Amino acid sequence: MPRIQCIRKPNIEIRQETTLPQSTKTEKKRKNEKSKFTAFSKMLSPNPLSLLCALLLCLPLAIVYTTTKHTTSTDTPIILNTPINNISISEKFNQKLSLSPTSMPTRSMRPSLLLPYLYTDYDDELLKAATRVAERPTRPQKTAFMFITTAPLPFAPLWELYFNQTSKNLYNIYIHADPTFSYDPPFSEVFHDRVIPSKPTRRHTPTLAAAARRLLAHALLHDPSNSVFVLLSPSCIPLHSLNFTIHALHSRGKSFLEILVNEPTQYDRWAARGPHAMLPEIKFNQFRVGSQFWALTRRHARMVVSERVLWRKFNVPCELWYACYPEENYFPTLLNMWDPRGCVHATLTHVNWTGRWDGHPRTYEAWEVGPELIRRMRRETPKYGDGGDGRRDPFLFARKFAPDALRPLMRIANDVIFRD
């Protein structure tokens, strides 16, 4: 093994200083400096031993720097301009306040709704932050209306009449708009600047359920007064006035969520990811089926955004795509396992499945729309699961309506739809 020779300090001879001419002193000083520089250059000349020493000295510094940088960027919840006092804000994303994600359908968004859309762990950080909001809403209690869409809202004029009936202090609007689609005309009036940072959504995948969780998290973080959270589709219409709807949603103090058992396709849905994929967390007798559209209390909204174990089971691709409806199974399964008594096991969104087997309910065309259709929908009773208590709840919304039904709906809006 080669020996490493240490450079010893040279012996210094002490001599009696003699007087020399000035030119001789200058020349001698120049020669001394030159000899020192030559020795220093030899010490720094690259050789395998010196390079190895330099590498070993710098390696610990590189590790410390990398670890420190990573910890700083992930430990802080990345939430911008939220009214929640106990959520810290990452300074590195403050510049995004004046920017809008290029893939979003609107040119600008309210700073209170703008989050780092392109951040890798965006959903994880968003949901973690939403779990820390206050359990009880502030007053006045508000209703959060949340739309999932891949197109401009066809019934926006009807919804504008609906929302303009009462004070804006009683509701909030949130839109999850798939950024891979175009939105022309853009969202305007009451829907202006209400689009949250969104991701692509597709049927037979977990993306629709993920979009609903994303909407819940945004609504919880955006306004501490949000008390009830209603999920709607672009083909939905209201069946009553806004004041009637708010009273019906808040009077029970429970979530309205269809929770059904022993449905014909229940086993296929449970085994859609594989015959044992749901085990051991979700046994077949714990699996539930329900409508995609619901109204959740604030307590249940916080449960959904904080839950991780069951979501990992649903947030995987299905082997049986035709039986893959996570948006209709995750929420009823979760709340039936966690708090079945806190739910009314029915949806308040009217839908007609008569003669339909393709996963899409009947669509009402323009020629079918009239006062009698609205009154008939109001008279019908929701389908209750095991959580029915004998009370009859009214349908508050209805789907599915074709876009060309807007004109006849507008004609009967004030005299029929909004007259309770």
Three-state secondary structure call for residue 260:
strand
Q: Measuring CA to CA, which residue among 52, 37, 128, 155 is closest to residue 399?
A: 155
236: left (phi over 0), alpha (psi -120 to 50) or beta: beta
Cis peptide before 332 (omega within 30 of 0): no
In a domain, 134, yes or no: no
Minimum mean pLDDT among 187-201, 338-352, 357-371: which range? 357-371
pLDDT at 74 over 90: no
pLDDT at 88 over 50: no
In a domain, 398, yes or no: yes
In a domain, 288, yes or no: yes
In a domain, 228, yes or no: yes
User: What is the rounded average pLDDT of the residues 205-211?
Assistant: 97
Minimum mean pLDDT among 43-52, 198-207, 399-408: which range? 43-52
pTM exceeds 0.85 for this model: no
What amino acid is encoded at 402 in this protein?
Answer: A
- For 199, 295, 357, the CA distances from 328, given in Å and listed in that order, are 19, 14, 16
Are 291 and 335 in contact, with CB atoms under 8 Å apart? no
- CATH number of the domain to which 365 belongs: 3.90.550
Q: State pLDDT tens for residues 326-362.
A: 999 999 999 999 999 999 999 999 999 887 777 789 9
In a domain, 80, yes or no: no
Residue 314: phi and psi, rounded to 5, are: -85, -25
What's the chain's average pLDDT? 80
Exposure string over 223-251, b if 16+ CB within 10 A, otherwise e? bbbbbbbbbbebbbbbbbbbebbbebbee
Minimum mean pLDDT among 118-132, 201-215, 339-353: which range? 118-132
pLDDT at 186 over 70: yes
Minimum mean pLDDT among 12-26, 78-92, 161-175, 199-213: which range? 78-92
Q: Beta 237-238 vs 397-398: how paired, if at all?
A: antiparallel
In a domain, 73, yes or no: no
Hey, how many other C-beta atoms are within 10 angstroms of the C-beta on 289? 21
In a domain, 251, yes or no: yes
Q: Which domain holds residue 255?
A: 139-175+203-417
Q: Is 41 or 407 the better-scoring residue by pLDDT?
A: 407
In a domain, 240, yes or no: yes
Minimum mean pLDDT among 58-62, 319-323, 341-345: which range? 58-62
pLDDT of res. 355: 78
pLDDT band of 75, cuts 50, 70, 90 = very low
Which DSSP helix (H) or strand (E) runs through 306?
helix 298-306
Q: How many domains does the chain have?
A: 1
pLDDT band of 122, cuts 50, 70, 90 = confident
Angle at 120 between CA 114 and CA 126, to 5 degrees: 50
pLDDT band of 386, cuts 50, 70, 90 = confident
